[in-house]
Structure 1
Amino acid sequence: MRATEIIAGAAALLASGVSAEAYLGFNSGNTLADRSAKFKKDWVQEFTTAQNLKNAPGTFNAVRLYTNIQAYSQTSEPIEAFEAAIETNTKILLGVWASGTDTIEPEIKALQTAISTYGKKLTDLIIGASIGSEDLYRVSVTGIQNKSGVGAGPSEIVKFIGDWKKAFQGTAIANVPIGHVDTWDVWVNGTNKPVIDAVDWVGVDEYPYYENGKGNNIENSGYLFDRAFDAIGSAVGDKPVWVTETGWPYVGQTWDQAEATVKNQQFYWQEVGCRKLFGKVPTFWYNLRDSNPDNEMKFAITDNLSTTPHFDLTCPSTFKTTPKASSSGAKSTSTATGTGVSAPSSSASGSSSPEAEKSGSTSSPSSSEPVTATVPAESSVATGSATSVKGVSAAAVAGMTLLVGVFAML
């Protein structure tokens, strides 16, 4: 079979896996920008704005959470986002914190309490559960180089997935699809295959803005995104790919060739969101509003939860990122095109996340971001992607070499 037929078949299979329910939503942590806890009214405001954005290419009626636990709770109190979601009919992608711990029991307990309280009103809104967020990245060579905090290895994530399934076996959410969210290079790293085998879908955080040394100007952003996304699809086989974070900042420093402006934020929305994701792939955009005061890069598409965004959200009928250019690949200084964060002075080109970029990512509440006894807030959760080939295992390099060979045959 020709390489083009293999790629086409894989792409069709991937598309069929996600097209039925291409959710539209945003990420939402459990604290506000001043580090205070979010309560029900805060989430109601977020969810209401998301569903009423002017000129949106669809209804953004889903949310990706990072934890089931209310901020600053010491007793696994359920996050009040659940109540807000019920009131606004917002679909929920559950988040389960899995780094720096040997148990996810507090997360399980919080959700069990919520289900006991709200029953079907809540369970009918749950579309998936992510066991962990960028844990595998944080234990990679790149993650360690970038001081991204304590993570969790593949065996730990697989164990937690088993614990979750056992806890909810025979319940109303027993068949909710289980996934894990991580950086793109994690998924092409062969050492992490046990996690791929254990999940129903894979979640990917991609940020071309942070692609230092890879031609990360805004015109190239769509190509960089496509190369990483396609590499993931080839690596995970028939597992659906959900884009759990992506976006472009409108305020912040120039990162290599990437400039943070409203104009560029709109370009990225159109060339990645409209062209590649919306209505095709489950997508959780980063972000509706900013919540990390330590990160000078601001990704929010609206101010003060106004339904009038910074730019017109209307999707164009034509795009500048062409399929032919995407297939041949963008200019790059490496075979891998990851999408993460790193300090400009760092010797590594990989990184942690937009939320952790300034304050540093930690696996438990830090002095700057205390949240619960076991779960950090969004600003101390790593939520970006890695980029460095230096930080990828030999198995991953071998896999990427194979991908390069396939691309060359197209």
Structure 2
Amino acid sequence: MRATGYLAASALASAVSAQNYLGFSTGSTKIDGSVKVQADYEAEFTAAQKLVGAPGIFNAARLYTNIQGGSATDPIEAFAAAIATNTSLLLGIWCSGTTTIEPELTALQAGLTKYGSKLADLVIGISIGSEDLYRNSVTGVENDAGIGANPDVLVGFIDDYKKAFASSALKDVPVGHVDTWNVFPNATNKPVIDAVDWIGLDEYPYYQTGQDNTIENAANLFSAALDAAKAAVGDKPVWITETGWPYTGMTWDKGVPSVANAKTYWDTVGCDMLFNKMPTFWYDLIDDNANNNESFAITDNLSTKARFNLTCPASSTVSSSSGAASATVTGSGSGNGSTKTTGAATTATTGTKTGGSGSTGSASGSGSAASASGTGAVTTNGASSVLNLSIGTLVGVVAFACML
């Protein structure tokens, strides 16, 4: 039995990492706050696949809920759009601030009943929760990041999903959890790592105030965070579920939004480290939240010609992610602004930040349509909030919570 179990686990791990998907994370609302419908998703998925100069076909999408906005348990209309455009789907289930994921499971089951194998064949993974552990971490609590979910709760939800779909067409779809890198080295969170097939990483060097978060150092900061996550989760595959650099918005310490910097980040992080090397879901294709002070979208109005040249440079500027950076947090940074929020969001970095709607500091919500607001501070000097990790010289807690 032990040998059989090992072979089965090895086969699943190979399947999880066998294809390096290219896609975008996409929220459930448009920039005006209205709920996306099938036509909106179809236009988005079609544009993604036809991007001029892209380093591959972006024919995958990460969703944050299975529930169509405005309903209780109706399946999200992105399902039908994915079928129409042959777009692979990384599904998501909201787990924070709730005692049950039954509405999500009901919506997903309704989708399978309605579309059958046409939908099931497009599902490449499912994330049970997104940044729930961060919100319940010491740093998240200090930052008033909102209600999260403890490891035992997440493990329970993972079991609920697996039991509900054990005999379904999704029974072999790999199950994961998405969170910020700094929660994974925490031993109390290991049961979640053990319960899933892959780990999703949300990472934004732009928000790393106090860590020389210039665009020139962004690849090094990303590399260090990726190495930390990989070291913590062992042989579990790591998927990049959110990353990007804004083209407009607030300046966060040394993080300056601009089209030129967004292009540099695309080249030095996306091209050099991610695209066609590991499953990657960029944030994002089109702006979909009017409350954001930062805009990350690589296109306007779903034009297939992006706001910067998507063609990757011929030569690489970052040779590897191992030992590429040294980041030390000893003081505090400050900034003003809001994070991206379609659904629920917070961004916690080092230092102290004050923002407005959807801001760093606090978040609240449940289901798939939560909101974030308020002010808060993140401290990095206390023993409870500082992780000492052997990745070059990486000291401190850097947390990024961007949940749509």
- TM-score class, shorter-chain normalisation, is 0.7 to 0.9
Aligned amino acid, residue 330 of structure 1 = S
Inter-partner Cα distance in structure 1 for 2:384 and 2:154: 18
Q: 368, 376, 381: which one pairs with 1:375?
A: 368
Q: Deviations over 1:77-101 (max 9, x none)?
A: 1000000000000000001000111
Contact 1:140–1:392 under 8 Å retained in 2 = no
Q: Deviations over 1:175-234 (max 9, x none)?
A: 100000001101122211010000000000000000001010001000000001011111
Contact 1:222–1:268 under 8 Å retained in 2 = yes
1:63 — aligned with what?
61
For residues 174-189 of structure 1, the aligned pairs below 5 Å read 174-189=171-186
2:166 — aligned with what?
169
1:369 — aligned with what?
none
Q: Deviations over 1:340-380 (max 9, x none)?
A: x989xx9953889999437953222xxxxxxxxx3226x65
Inter-partner Cα distance in structure 2 for 1:61 and 1:354: 34
Contact 2:31–2:288 under 8 Å retained in 1 = yes
Change (3 A) 1:317 1:391: farther
For residues 48-127 of structure 1, the aligned pairs below 5 Å read 48-74=46-72, 76-127=73-124
For residues 381-396 of structure 1, the aligned pairs below 5 Å read 389-390=380-381, 393=384
2:154 — aligned with what?
157
Contact 1:22–1:280 under 8 Å retained in 2 = yes
Q: Deviation of residue 72 (structure 1)?
A: 1.2
2:323 — aligned with what?
327
Between stretches 210-219 and 135-144, larger displacement belongs to 135-144
Inter-partner Cα distance in structure 2 for 1:205 and 1:99: 16
Q: Deviations over 1:27-57 (max 9, x none)?
A: 1111111111100000000000000000000
Inter-partner Cα distance in structure 2 for 1:200 and 1:388: 32
Change (3 A) 1:273 1:39: same
Pair 1:140 & 2:113 matched: no
Unaligned stretches of 5+ in structure 1? 1-14, 336-340, 365-373
Q: Kindly report the root-mean-square deviation, in angstroms, between the aligned alpha carbons of the 2 structures.
A: 3.0
Contact 2:120–2:170 under 8 Å retained in 1 = yes
Could you tell me the TM-score, scaled by structure 2's length? Answer: 0.84
For residues 16-35 of structure 1, the aligned pairs below 5 Å read 20-35=18-33
2:212 — aligned with what?
215
Change (3 A) 1:403 1:350: farther
Inter-partner Cα distance in structure 1 for 2:64 and 2:357: 12
Inter-partner Cα distance in structure 2 for 1:47 and 1:288: 9
2:365 — aligned with what?
363
Inter-partner Cα distance in structure 1 for 2:91 and 2:162: 14
Between stretches 242-251 and 142-151, larger displacement belongs to 142-151
Contact 1:202–1:242 under 8 Å retained in 2 = yes
Q: Deviation of residue 333 (structure 1)?
A: 3.2
Contact 1:18–1:282 under 8 Å retained in 2 = no
What SS does structure 2 have at the residue aligned with 1:21?
Answer: coil
Inter-partner Cα distance in structure 2 for 1:82 and 1:355: 30
Change (3 A) 1:143 1:254: same
Q: Deviation of residue 147 (structure 1)?
A: 2.0
Q: Deviations over 1:226-281 (max 9, x none)?
A: 00101111110000000000000000121111110000000000000000000011
For residues 205-354 of structure 1, the aligned pairs below 5 Å read 205-323=202-320, 327-333=323-329, 349=351
For residues 8-23 of structure 1, the aligned pairs below 5 Å read 20-23=18-21
Q: Percent identity?
A: 53
Equivalenced residues, count: 367
Aligned amino acid, residue 327 of structure 1 = G
Aligned amino acid, residue 181 of structure 1 = V
Change (3 A) 1:82 1:314: same
Q: Deviations over 1:101-141 (max 9, x none)?
A: 10000000000011001000000000000000111111112
Contact 1:214–1:334 under 8 Å retained in 2 = no
Could you tell me the TM-score, scaled by structure 1's length? Answer: 0.82
Q: Deviation of residue 320 (structure 1)?
A: 3.0
Inter-partner Cα distance in structure 2 for 1:285 and 1:138: 22
What SS does structure 1 have at the residue aligned with 2:281?
Answer: strand
Contact 2:362–2:372 under 8 Å retained in 1 = yes
What SS does structure 2 have at the residue aligned with 1:327?
Answer: coil
Contact 1:189–1:392 under 8 Å retained in 2 = no
Inter-partner Cα distance in structure 2 for 1:347 and 1:179: 24
Inter-partner Cα distance in structure 2 for 1:307 and 1:22: 22
Inter-partner Cα distance in structure 2 for 1:331 and 1:202: 23
